Copies of this chain bind each other. A is one copy, B any other.
Amino acid sequence: MDDIDSAIIRHLQRDARLTNRELARLVGVAPSTCLERVRSLRARGVITGYHAAVDPRALGRPLQALIFARLRPLSREVITGFQHYLSQQPEVLSVLVVSGDEDFVIQVAVPTIERLHAFLMDQVSARREVVNFRSSVIYQQTVTQVLAPVDEGRRGDA
């Protein structure tokens, strides 16, 4: 992971359809070198895939929300089962298992507030392992497009 690898990652996060030629030009190496670098990044698991991003609004899901849920008993089986169940629901964008006041944080995208309520009642509240939950409407969302390697400037490994 040197500066060239970092630059490659940075560019491909912004535009995964860059050709090898173009990418090589952007990072300042020969196409053959660039190809080898990208291959290595894939092989090492630094780059995990290339994905088209779609606008939920264009897909009829203009409303997003977070759902915070507490589960009991909090066993591995219950967690795995609930995760698997959620991943099958079309409304669900992401599922986080977290420490703290809640056990699950679920991000959903739905067409209407009625559909959100229906999801909460029929898909969440109906589950026996969910002892309680709350939800928050998402007003705004900004996602960092480009994730950089840790800069060693800010030390935290004292």
Contact = CB atoms under 8 A, between A and B. Distances in A.
B66 A134 contact: no
A105 B66 contact: yes
A158 B93 contact: no
Interface residues of A, number: 71
Contact of A15 (B9, B50, B102): B50
A154 B98 contact: no
Contact of A144 (B9, B59, B93): B93
Interface stretch (A26-34, A107-115, A124-132): A107-115
A126 B9 CA distance: 32
A12 interface: yes
A78 interface: no
A99 B136 contact: yes
The 9 residue pairs across chains A and B that have the minimum distance between CB atoms: A115-B156, A12-B52, A100-B136, A60-B150, A97-B140, A98-B136, A16-B50, A46-B58, A99-B137
Interface of A: 1, 9, 12-17, 44-56, 58-61, 66, 79, 83, 87, 90, 92-102, 105, 109-112, 114-116, 118, 134-145, 147-151, 154, 156-158
